[in-house]
Amino acid sequence: MGDSLSIPTSASALPATTVTSRHSALVRVTHWITTLCFFALLVSGIELVISYPRFYWGETGNVLTPTLFKIPIPSSRALVPTGYKYVLPDQNGWSRYLHFQSAWILVLTGLLYAIALFFSGHLRKNLLPSKSDLSWRALSTEIYEHLRFKRPSPAEAWSYNTLQRLAYLFVIFVLFPLVIWTGLAMSLSFVSAFPATVTLLGGQQSARTLHFFVSVALLLFLLVHVFEVFLAGFISRMRAMITGKVNTPMERP
């Protein structure tokens, strides 16, 4: 596994326009499984919100109690007053089946990725930013360049930049664990065995609300991620993530 995950780091110069490997097979396969699962979770999650577009804080919440906020959309259930005169078709059955199945596949894929992350050196080599990159000066330059939507230099095809690393680390170690935790905290059966999962979050309705917000954060990450892929060059980045290869018109960094 170590070999398959490593990315060439030697400083030797290669001839121009050579094709070399960028992403390991494991990174590519887990990336696309995650993509598929994320879309399934997103679509089914939206459907589930439509069945009850109200959110609360605390243990309980229902049509008789004050909300934290409402999403002003029609609902797929007649019970919840939305202000709309129609009720959308109920999609919760398959949405729940699909949501949990995708969650399982995503969690198992994520576990495989996380294990490989620690044992292959991928974390240290490609994700943890170096101390010098974390200086205010370096960071502010990078933030400035990102905000100008500056196209990344060809050298960046070889490694993740600092903001990218920080974003990926945040998604892997903060957002994904949080979305799993808040999801499990809504399971009546799961919390019967592990009540702290829900009490620490302030209750079952708080867990649902937090689950919604973490999902929104993941969606925002996805949008920025896709935007950056277009900015960097859709064809070359997609090719790298599908075939694992990049064309380098220059010396390797």
Question: Footprint of another protein on this chain (CB under 8 A)?
Answer: 48-49, 51-52, 54, 59-65, 77, 79-80, 92-94, 96-98, 100-105, 186-193, 195, 198, 204-205, 208
Closest separation in Å from C-beta 208 to another protein: 6
Distance CA 151, CA 128 (A): 22
The dihedral over CA atoms of 188, 192, 198, 204, expressed in degrees to the nearest 10, equals 30
Distance CA 93, CA 44 (A): 10
Check: CB of residue 121 under 8 Å from CB of residue 2.
yes
Closest separation in Å from C-beta 110 to another protein: 15
Closest separation in Å from C-beta 59 to another protein: 6
Contacts of 128 (CB under 8 A, 6+ apart): 165, 169
Check: CB of residue 13 under 8 Å from CB of residue 248.
no
Strand partners, 248: 18
Q: Is 21 helix (H, G, I), strand (E, B) or coil?
A: strand
Closest separation in Å from C-beta 188 to another protein: 5
Please say which residue, 15 or 93, places its beta carbon nearer to another protein: 93
Closest separation in Å from C-beta 86 to another protein: 17
Please say which residue, 72 or 93, places its beta carbon nearer to another protein: 93
Closest separation in Å from C-beta 61 to another protein: 6
Tell which residue, 166, 177, 175, has the closest CA to residue 126: 166
Tokens of 23: 């992403």
Please say which residue, 49 or 179, places its beta carbon nearer to another protein: 49
Distance CA 156, CA 122 (A): 17
Closest separation in Å from C-beta 179 to another protein: 15
Please say which residue, 165 or 208, places its beta carbon nearer to another protein: 208
Distance CA 105, CA 109 (A): 6
Tokens of 80: 């919840």
